[in-house]
A and B are shown apart, each in its own frame.
Chain A
Amino acid sequence: MATDLRLAFADIDEELFDVDRIPMTSHDVRSVGEMLFDVDYLARQLLMDVDGDAAGTLLRSWPTMVAAAEDLWASLPGRRPGVDERDRPITSLAAQAATIETSLSGRVAWPGQGPTSPRIDQMTQTLVNATALVRRYGAEIPHEQPDAHRDLEAARTRIMHGLYLTAHAVNVALHDHGRDRVTDARSSGRRIHLAHHHSPYAIAPTGVWIDRMSACEITARGYLTDRFAQALAGEAMRPVDDPGRLAQALANWDIQTHRALARHLEPSNILLITRTQGLIAGASMVLVDAASVAGVLERSERLVPAIAEAGRSWSNLASRWGDLAPPGARIEEPLARAAAEVRAAYRQITHDTTTLASPEAIAGRPGLPQAVAATLRAIEAGSELAVVVAEKADAPDLTGPARALSRRAHNDVEAGLATPPAEGDVVWVSPTDILNKRLVPLPPPVAETLRAASDATIDATSSASAVATLHCGEHAVATPDGDPGLGSAAALEVGRPPFPRPAGPRR
């Protein structure tokens, strides 16, 4: 595959920042465009490597980087007199960072005084060098010309992009730092005060920093997605400390899946739906396990196995829809956003950064009772969704990539999952179609096993739904003696009318 296309970048900035316009210096031979490219590179490396140990150094380095970025921004030629709407995000970021610097100054409590981050310092120095170059030679730039104007816009985007990536990295580090502190405290038997800010691990000293860095991240992202005006008008990221986040995410997922399935839907969207349902099942197993440890839910011999079987059947069905979804196929945006929020909401409570947390760790997290109520409700509703998804397998115009369908047809016949053809060995998909990478109608064995997998999913999800319903009831009854917050959440869940559940397989 032709993947080395990197020459394109220099084209963006050559008018404004190429070596003919900006003479080399003895200190730094890079053009401004190259310097901004290096800031992007360093920010990416930081984000890929970041962990909780770096939280303090990163936080201490952040205000200086923003100040350097603001300086470079201000030095770019073509600035309009008076207040420029275009400059408000960087002005806002600089003000946010300045208050962080003031709070850090002379501070004894965490993160206290100490070293700064070499990576952020390197980015800061690069921005300072770029500013010096622009100040020295920027007056020669014909900024009113379209090409130069475009290059200046590119430079502003690059600056803000570097700040966005770095703010996100600092936030990741702060979350990880909180998690590490909580883990250390629990392993040594110490009590720790959770701040309930933006993270299940936001211990008191870091919670406020997470809030402030989140504000910086939102500001930078708002500029890049052209939504800064909305952000200023009050639009904000949903607070992740909200104990109802998972319930809200799952309720929205339920709405979006039904809206999408009510129309003709491409297989790529059905793949997303079935995979997300598999994720819901897997995460539910983790939460139910943790809830048993925490005493929020009575242990059951049936619940986890039933959910596990539902998860396996969703995954099997998903792998078959995956054969029909070609690379690059579009996914409906509301559906993708809803799936992303479901994933993020589960991760908040089930994960230690990149891996699953232990049941004991999850058991101690705030919001677990509400999350368990919400996830059991989603398992309950899964059987109805399985019926709707199964109807999509009956569509007569289904097609998929020839190669994947050929492989699937032969494998299913060989494994005895599909009816073997009476005429013996059959070529299900023409080699010409495979060679030309065409989309072809479903071969009979693939259509047959897709319907069989749909039926198996209805069976498995119906069983899981029935068991989950029993536990939802038990959950609500057990609540008054437990967490008072759970009482209201669970009662609300149980008070809602149940989804109609199918009586059994449709065939």
Chain B
Amino acid sequence: MDTLNADGTWDRLGSIALLLHQAATQLWSEADQSAADSPLHDLGLGVYLAHSRASALLPDDYELPDVDADDLEERTPLQLLTEAEDLTRPLPLHRPDLVHGSQLVVDLCDLIREARGLGY
């Protein structure tokens, strides 16, 4: 059995990737309705890069958990980011596979602060 997923680590990271992908999609969707120099473009890119960091921590053959897309779409970007940050708390950051996990946490906290600063 996959030892890391025995404690739900991969599923947790998979959920984080899903939440961040949705948050980036929503932010960009709002940005596309705004001016070309809207700060939402920048925040959306930051969230997408965090999504890529989370995805990079997953094994190549990992399949993301099944989620209800409508359920995700009902949440705001800040709610999605906060939930993703919450999911990182129990991650075993000392494991070699998760060597960049701390950087993901810092990125998420920075993004939450930025999203709040933009009025979310």
Closest to B117 in A: A354
Closest to B32 in A: A315
**Chain A CB within 10 Å — which of B22, B105, B106, B110 has the most?**
B106
Q: Which of A371-421 contact B (CB under 8 A)?
A: 403
Chain A residues positioned under 8 Å from B72 (CB to CB):
1
With A328-B64, A354-B114: A154-B92 Cβ-Cβ less than 8 Å: yes
Closest to A49 in B: B113
- Map CB proximity to B onto A217-253 as digits: 1 under 8 Å, 0 otherwise: 0000100111000000000000000000000000000
Q: Which of A348-375 contact B (CB under 8 A)?
A: 351, 353-356
Q: Are B89 and A41 within 8 A (Cβ)?
A: yes
| Chain B interface residue bracket vs A | 35 or more
- Map CB proximity to B onto A199-226 as digits: 1 under 8 Å, 0 otherwise: 0000000000000000000000100111
Q: Are B46 and A328 within 8 A (Cβ)?
A: no
Q: Are A168 and B112 within 8 A (Cβ)?
A: no
Q: Are A12 and B92 within 8 A (Cβ)?
A: yes
Please tell me which stretch of A94-102, A118-126, A277-285, A473-481 contacts chain B, meaning at least 4 of its Cβ atoms lie within 8 angstroms of it. A277-285
Nearest chain B CB to A354 CB, angstrom units: 3
Chain B residues positioned under 8 Å from A331 (CB to CB):
52, 55-56
Distance, CA A77 to CA B100, complexed state (A): 26
Which of B36, B89, B94 sits near A153, CB closer than 8 Å?
B94
Q: Are B36 and A315 within 8 A (Cβ)?
A: yes
Q: Are B102 and A221 within 8 A (Cβ)?
A: yes
Chain A residues positioned under 8 Å from B18 (CB to CB):
1, 327-328
Nearest chain B CB to A358 CB, angstrom units: 13
Q: Are B90 and A157 within 8 A (Cβ)?
A: no
Please tell me which stretch of A55-63, A65-73, A339-347 contacts chain B, meaning at least 4 of its Cβ atoms lie within 8 angstroms of it. A339-347
With A156-B94, A275-B45: A48-B112 Cβ-Cβ less than 8 Å: yes
Q: Which of A302-355 contact B (CB under 8 A)?
A: 307-308, 311-312, 315-316, 318-319, 322, 327-331, 333, 336, 339-340, 343, 346-347, 351, 353-355
Chain B residues positioned under 8 Å from A339 (CB to CB):
45, 49
Q: Are A343 and B93 within 8 A (Cβ)?
A: no
Chain A residues positioned under 8 Å from B52 (CB to CB):
268, 272, 330-331, 336
Distance, CA A12 to CA B55, complexed state (A): 23
Which of B8, B35, B99 sits near A226, CB closer than 8 Å?
B99
Chain B residues positioned under 8 Å from A278 (CB to CB):
36, 41
Q: Are A272 and B48 within 8 A (Cβ)?
A: yes
With A1-B67, A286-B37, A328-B14: A161-B105 Cβ-Cβ less than 8 Å: yes
Closest to A269 in B: B52
Q: Are A224 and B49 within 8 A (Cβ)?
A: no
Q: Does A158 contact B (CB under 8 A)?
A: yes
Nearest chain B CB to A10 CB, angstrom units: 8
Chain B residues positioned under 8 Å from A44 (CB to CB):
85, 89, 105, 109
Closest to B53 in A: A336
Chain A residues positioned under 8 Å from B113 (CB to CB):
47-50, 172, 354
Chain A residues positioned under 8 Å from B15 (CB to CB):
1-3, 5
Distance, CA A47 to CA B110, complexed state (A): 7
Q: Does A423 contact B (CB under 8 A)?
A: no
Which of A224, A283, A318 sits near B93, CB closer than 8 Å?
A224
Q: Does A40 contact B (CB under 8 A)?
A: yes
Q: Are A340 and B49 within 8 A (Cβ)?
A: yes
Nearest chain B CB to A422 CB, angstrom units: 31
Q: Are B17 and A327 within 8 A (Cβ)?
A: yes
Closest to B107 in A: A340
Distance, CA A354 to CA B52, complexed state (A): 21
Distance, CA A195 to CA B43, complexed state (A): 29
Q: Are B56 and A330 within 8 A (Cβ)?
A: yes
Q: Does A9 contact B (CB under 8 A)?
A: yes
Q: Which of A1-47 contact B (CB under 8 A)?
A: 1-3, 5-9, 11-12, 37, 40-41, 44, 47
With A165-B106, A343-B45: A322-B28 Cβ-Cβ less than 8 Å: yes
A-B contact pairs, 16 of them (CB 8 A): A5-B11, A5-B87, A8-B12, A11-B7, A154-B94, A164-B106, A165-B105, A282-B41, A282-B42, A307-B36, A322-B25, A327-B51, A328-B55, A343-B49, A351-B42, A353-B117
Residues of A within 8 A of B (CB): 1-3, 5-9, 11-12, 37, 40-41, 44, 47-50, 150, 153-154, 156-158, 161, 164-165, 168, 172, 221, 224-226, 268, 271-272, 275-276, 278-279, 281-283, 285-286, 307-308, 311-312, 315-316, 318-319, 322, 327-331, 333, 336, 339-340, 343, 346-347, 351, 353-356, 403, 437
For the complex with contacts A164-B106, A275-B48, A354-B39, 14 further pairs of A-B residues with Cβ separation under 8 Å are A5-B12, A6-B89, A11-B7, A48-B113, A154-B92, A221-B103, A281-B36, A319-B29, A328-B17, A336-B52, A339-B45, A343-B42, A343-B46, A356-B39
Residues of B within 8 A of A (CB): 7-9, 11-12, 14-15, 17-18, 21-22, 25, 28-29, 31-32, 35-39, 41-42, 44-46, 48-49, 51-53, 55-56, 58, 62, 64-69, 71-72, 83, 85-87, 89-90, 92-94, 96, 99-100, 102-103, 105-106, 109-110, 112-114, 116-118
